[in-house]
Structure 1
Amino acid sequence: MRAIQQTQSDPAFLLDAADDHAPEVKFHFVLKNIPFDENYLPAANTRMTTNFANLARGSGRQENLRNTLTMIDNRFNTLVSWDNPTRDRYSVALDIISVELVADAEGRSDAFPLIETLKTTIIDRSTDARIDGIVGHNLSSYVRDYDFSVVLPSYNKDRAEFSAPENFGELHGNLFKCFLNCEAFKTQFKKPPVICLSASTSKTYRRTDNQHPILGVEYQQDGFSATDEYFAKMGLKVRYFMPPQSVAPLAFYCAGDLLRDYTDLELISTISTMETFQRIYRPEIYNANSPAGRLYQPSLKHQDYSLTRIVYDRDERSRLAVEQGKFAEEYLIKPYGTILEHWSAKHAY
């Protein structure tokens, strides 16, 4: 079993107080690498709606995890068609990158779980080589839950037309970009992250003539979704691709150049990991029995799909998002929100 590793960021950075009478608060990031394997148990402060955490619960947790990891390996080997005649040359090892925001003020230190994401390592069984994959894939964020499950409902409570506050997502985006610029991230990861999510059920996607040998055929959306706009404030641009043998496009959010900055094996590690999660959580879209056409709108009401053997509770995930948003409000926004918002307004990355 791989051990948990911990890395602290560069020396604490000062976030200016909102006024001259407010106490000085210093923040820094702490990174923990936690193996995601069949023995994984979510920590007490893990966001439980996260794909990998939701699977690791209940009496069948080990079977869930084992089957999920097998699906990832099988999908990876299917996409690596060269020098892999038996389709079992590679395995994908996953680590959860857990990021805490630690606040030091007046002799007290508070740690808040800010981000959890994944890092892949590709294991070549024929050579015993371990090849770095991509960091990103999944993105878990309590602050995102706060924005979408607390801020938005409150803001729209008495409004005739649904909208978002002008600065919606800016604090989350600046904290994310600040983390990417810290020395701990730059030392541990050589390339910017790629986040891979489901296509939005509120948008229509049109197939283009652009086709990538690994990512597959590109789709373009008819407008930016709320998630697209939220991730843009994190410095991430979105492109939609439907990989070979897939049935629906995936959303790839990237700060760099998705098609040029990453190797084939790195991209395949993202596809195999996140398509597996989506087949489990959104089988109506990603385990459908027929592929997306030239004009495509995803729907969770689609009936012609197959289920995996992996058990999860989608209703529980929706309910927990509200609880987790309130957790962020109680332990981060209320004690430090004014200082963080003041800092966010003054700093752009």
Structure 2
Amino acid sequence: MKTVVQEDSGIKNKNTQHAIKNDFAFTLKSTCLDENYHPSSKTRLTTNFANLARGANRQQNLRNALNMINNRFNSLAHLDNPKGDRYHVTLEILTVTMSIDDKGGTNDLPMIEVLKTNIFDRKTGQQIEGVAGNNYSSYVRDYDFSILLTDYNKDKSSISVPENYGDLHGKLYKCFVNSTTYKEHFKKSPIICLSVSSNKTYTRTEYQHPVLGYEYQQDHYSLTDEYFFKMGLKVRFFMPPNSVAPMAFYHSGDLLNDYTDLGLISSISTMETFQKIYRPEIYNANSVAGKIYQPSLKHEDYSLTRVEYDREERSRLAVEQGKYAEEHFIKPYKNILENWSANFNL
């Protein structure tokens, strides 16, 4: 794993003439995700790639997943690609850690992990930058959804959210993606691609994008949508060509014009592969979503991939890692975080 850069956030406190002494410092590390990848002890184990890279069949799991990504990429990037092997996609795991105090008290806690795609064109020999974002994970998000929200709704008949729910997480995300560090290393803002919600209904529109496919619209916003809005992200839903269900694309800029076709294809091929593995009931179903579509994890007419996955373990680890964030970040730095959040403006 290589450290790319470290930078103080330099956020100022409006109530003083000086910077807050405990400025946040981000460290960005990059790790190659290939069939030889082994999760670090500092990696969130609920991430798609870490979940696959454990157990007796870890190497075959990774090899199969990476082959699926490359095959899907070439099927979408079919122009001047008669053999379906012109492009090769490689993946980097980007781990963002954050330090609050001079002692580096939180350097062992990855705040955010995402995947970045890189594309190699075998015909021209050109290396093409893909898209950052894709699989998105965060310890604070684990805390918000698996600890805070669960405790808040423990004795309630319907789900509601606490006041200022998601504010801290959203501001931490904005602070990083708008930092000089991010802008020096990435030309475009991230795309975070997730599964559609199983308790929402989606209606296909007449708009069809050449790469993203048919656009869908949902009946109302979800809790995840609201949470991501606080990160400065909006959402659109598209079902790419030869897919069986739409995916949610969270973005801050212009999804249709800010990215190249190959960049969008790299995001689709990567995240559709993971969704086929983790939610085969939706994304590896044997029937295609209709004009009006409601996803269901109880759907029985689907196919399994040749990649092993333990969904129950992943849910359990989300709770464990949410507790870890609470104990090592939320509680010990409560006053600093509240002060910083109250004075953060972007």
Could you tell me the TM-score, scaled by structure 2's length? 0.96
Q: Deviations over 1:161-195 (max 9, x none)?
A: 32001200010000000001111100000000000
Q: Deviation at 1:324?
A: 0.7
SS of aligned partner of 1:88: coil
Alignment correspondent of 2:33: 36
Instruction: Tell me if the contact between 1:238 and 1:252 (Cα under 8 Å) persists in the aligned partners.
Output: yes
- Report the residue type matching 1:219 in the other structure: Y
Report the residue type matching 1:269 in the other structure. Answer: S
How is 1:204-219 mapped onto 2 (pairs within 5 angstroms)? 204-219=201-216
Give the whole-Å Cα distance in 2 for the aligned partners of 1:108 and 1:68.
36
Displacement of 1:341: 2.0
1:324 aligns with 2:321: yes
Instruction: Tell me which residue corresponds to 1:308.
Output: 305
Distance 2:106 2:14 in 1: 17
**Cα offset for 1:7?**
2.3
The residue type paired with residue 106 of structure 2 is: D
Query: Aligned pair in 2 of structure 1 residues 24, 49: CA closer, same or farther (>3 Å)?
Result: same
Aligned mates of 1:194, 1:76 — CA distance in 2 = 17
How many correspondences in the alignment? 342
Mapping for residues 277-316 of structure 1, pairs under 5 Å: 277-316=274-313
Whole-Å separation in 1 of the counterparts to 2:29 and 2:13 = 27
Over 3 Å counting, the alpha-carbon distance change for 1:275 and 1:108 in structure 2 is closer
C-alpha separation in 1, matches of 2:13 and 2:145: 26
| Paired letter, 2:67 | T
> Separation in 1 of the partners of 2:28 and 2:219?
38
Aligned counterparts of 1:70 and 1:61: Cα–Cα separation in 2: 14
Instruction: Give, in whole Å, the separation in 2 of the partners of 1:150 and 1:121.
Output: 35
The residue that corresponds to 1:110 in the other structure is: 106
Q: Which residue of 2 aligns with 1:167?
A: 164
**Equivalences for residues 85-164 of structure 1 within 5 A:** 85-105=82-102, 107=103, 109-111=105-107, 112-164=109-161
Q: Distance in 1 between matches of 2:115 and 2:334?
A: 27
> What is the CA distance between 1:329 and its match in structure 2?
0.1
SS at match of 1:104: coil
**1:155: Cα distance to partner?**
1.1
Gapped regions of structure 2 (runs ≥ 5) = none
Asked if structure 1 preserves the Cα contact closer than 8 Å seen for 2:119 and 2:127, the reply is yes
1:62 aligned residue:
59
Structure 2 residue 76 is matched with structure 1 residue 79? yes
What secondary structure does 2:100 align onto? Answer: strand
Q: Which residue of 2 aligns with 1:262?
A: 259
1:44 Cα offset (Å) = 0.5
Which consecutive residues of structure 1, in runs of 5 or more, have no partner in the other structure?
Answer: none
Q: 1:16–1:339: 8 Å Cα contact kept in structure 2?
A: no
Report the RMSD for the aligned CA atoms in angstroms.
1.7
| TM-score where L is the length of structure 1 | 0.95
**Letter matched to residue 304 of structure 2:** L
